[in-house]
Amino acid sequence: MAAAIVEARGLHKHFGALHVLKGVDLDVAERELVFVIGPSGSGKSTLLRCLNRLEEPSAGSIMVDGINLLDPRTDINHARQRIGMVFQSFNLYPHMTALGNVTLALRKVAGKSRGEADAIGRQALERVGLGDRAGHTPGQLSGGQQQRVAIARSIALEPRVMLFDEPTSALDPELVGSVLGVMRDLRDSGMTMVVVSHEMGFARNAADRVLFMDEGVVVEQGPPAAIFENPSHDRTRAFISQIQRH
Amino acid sequence: MSKWEKFLDTFFNARVMEKYLPDILSGVLVTIELAVLIVISGLVAGLALALVRSLGLRPLNWLIIFVVDLFRSLPPLVIIVLMYFGLPAADVSPSGFVSTWISLALVLMSFSEEIFWAGITSIPKGQWEAARSTGLSFGQTLINVILPQALRLTIPPLTNRTIAITKGTALGTVVAVTEILGQASSAVSNSYNPSPLMMGAAAYIVLFLPVVVIGRWIETKFAWKR
Ligand SMILES: Nc1ncnc2c1ncn2[C@@H]1O[C@H](COP(=O)(O)OP(=O)(O)OP(=O)(O)O)[C@@H](O)[C@H]1O
Ligand SMILES: [Mg+2]
């Protein structure tokens, strides 16, 4: 097995009295695509957000690309460049162009000159099929295009792993394909990815492993075919038959 | 003398107006000086307080909220008078000019802090998260992502508030500041004729109407487009 990019052990997260993650372990190997499913409120987003410390775990350990993420001595801003994150609501900066969105961190965090950053940024926009939209602001782009700019914003930093939190859930159905297409290309180029999503078709085609979460624990995991066709837990079966009815 | 001539002679007396024009003009200069000082120091201090408040340090934030609410609830004239007549008891004797400047700057600071703060908090959390997830620090996110959006939202209310408070420079007349109203009223008592007051009113209009018009223009120009 290839080297692990993400190694999370015994993750717990409390929000006040609410115990949201109850001892989650997650290993993600290099070039692996792990697909996370589970009912609403099961802790999928919280798990993902712990992996770049947008959420502070209450207990446990996280190594990403050999960096101990929870060590107080770790420069978290430096580490976060290696962990791309794509949000359900895109979260593009509305006051900047697509290129401005993609180059901000390149200039401010990676220390590139404007010229270098622009060159890298244009390349990233090309990769998501939006080379001709560099000068557009988010307001002038469709949802699918906005999400692809958000992906470009992450890949421009050359992350070692990318986290996707329901990247297509806010999109009109006809725009979902373009975003999944970009994710597919990314996967084929060898990007390590953790994807929370309801796109079961994409999971079947692109995921190496599917992980089912419920009530803050990983109930079971395995290859997509095994989880979808032959789950070993009733909870998994119930969840899968429920989403397949929709 | 007809009624009309009498009216003109009383309120628009050419001889009186000519005589006191230089006084009014020097009052205009003082008003401009005061206004510029108040706007710059008030807005800078207000923004600074809002930025400090965004750090989220509880005791400091309580202090900021207390100070800001205090200066928002006191009538500006009361602050000016307290400063001018009250501070000397503590061995500090600010001039009328300084008392008016500091008082109105504190009031503008307080109102603008609330406006800046409202702007900063109205930016969706996702903007912070997106920026932080790419490795931007808190400060870099605030400056490059949050403030540019927040400031756009604050411009209309800020413009209105700034104009309203700046007009309060006329209150300085109570503590012997020789701004427009001060010059006009002493000219009235010296000439036994109210014409200088009409000149003063005209001077305020000449001074503030363009500001109001520019404010209106800024409001439409920066109306939020997504
Ligand atoms: N910042 C927070 N403060 C308090 N409770 C929170 C916070 N974030 C999440 N929660 C709670 O934690 C639980 C898990 O939330 P989470 O967003 O991780 O679920 P999810 O599996 O992503 O659900 P969904 O499919 O609806 O996105 C929920 O009950 C949620 O209300
Ligand atoms: Mg979620």
- Which CATH number belongs to the domain containing residue B86 in this structure? 1.10.3720.10
Give me the mean pLDDT over the B209-226 stretch. Answer: 76
Are A131 and A122 a contacting pair, CB within 8 Å? yes
* A50 contacts A57 by C-beta, under 8 angstroms: yes
A29-59 residue pLDDT tens: 999 999 999 999 999 999 999 999 999 999 9
Give the per-residue pLDDT at A176.
Answer: 95
Cβ of A121 closer than 6 Å to ligand 1, yes or no, is no
Q: Cα–chain-centroid distance for residue B173?
A: 16
The answer to whether residue B225 scores a pLDDT higher than 70 is no
Q: CB contact, 8 Å: B125 with chain A?
A: no
Ligand 1 atom closest to A49 (CA): 18
> Residue A211 gets which letter from DSSP?
E
Mean pLDDT of B86-115: 92
Report which of A8, A2, A1 is spatially closest to residue A194, judged by C-alpha positions: A8
Least confident of A72-76, B104-108, B222-226: B222-226
- Rounded Cα gap, residues A189 and A123, in angstroms: 15
Q: Which residue has the tokens 């244009």?
A: A122
* Greater model confidence, B178 or A26: A26
Would the CB atoms of B129 and A93 count as touching at under 8 Å? Answer: no
Question: DSSP letters along B106-139, please?
Answer: HHHHHHHHHHHHHHHHTS-HHHHHHHHHTT--HH
The tens digit of pLDDT for each residue in B128-187 reads: 999 999 999 999 999 999 999 999 888 888 988 888 888 899 999 888 888 899 999 999
Instruction: Give mean pLDDT, residues B2-17.
Output: 88
Chain B environment of A52 (Cβ under 8 Å): 133
Q: Is A160 a residue whose pLDDT tops 60?
A: yes
Closest by alpha carbon to A24, among A14, A12, A33?
A12
Contact partners, residue B139, CB within 8 Å, separation at least 6:
none
Q: Torsion-angle region of residue A7: left (phi > 0), alpha (psi -120 to 50) or beta?
A: beta
> Model confidence over A183-199: pLDDT tens digits?
999 999 999 999 999 99
Mean pLDDT of B37-59: 95
**Distance from residue A196's CA to the centre of ligand 2 (Å):** 8
> pLDDT digits over A132-147, tens only?
999 999 999 999 999 9
Is residue B143 less than 8 Å (CB to CB) from chain A? Answer: no
**Can you tell me the mean pLDDT for B5-10?**
88
Written as one letter, the residue type at A96 is: M
When pLDDT is cut at 50, 70 and 90, the band that residue B224 belongs to is: low
The residue whose C-alpha atom lies closest to atom 27 belonging to ligand 1 is A40
pLDDT at B220: 78
Q: What is the pLDDT of residue B9?
A: 87
Query: What's the pLDDT band for A166 if we cut at 50, 70, 90?
Result: very high
How many structural domains is chain B composed of? Answer: 1
Q: In the prediction, which pLDDT does A2 show?
A: 60
Q: Does residue A1 carry a pLDDT above 90? A: no
- Encode pLDDT of A172-186 as tens digits: 999 999 999 999 999
| Residues A7, B170: Cα–Cα separation, whole Å | 68
Classified as helix, coil or strand, B88 is helix
| Ligand 1 centroid, distance to A4 Cα (angstroms) | 27
State residue B134's pLDDT score: 97
**Which domain range does residue B85 map to?**
3-222
**Considering only CA atoms, which residue is closest to atom 24 of ligand 1?**
A40
Provide mean pLDDT across the span A215-222.
95
Q: Where does the pLDDT of residue B226 fall: very low under 50, low under 70, confident under 90, or very high at 90 and above? A: very low
**How many A from CA of A44 to the centre of ligand 2?**
6
Mean pLDDT of chain B: 91
d(CA B169, CA B157): 20
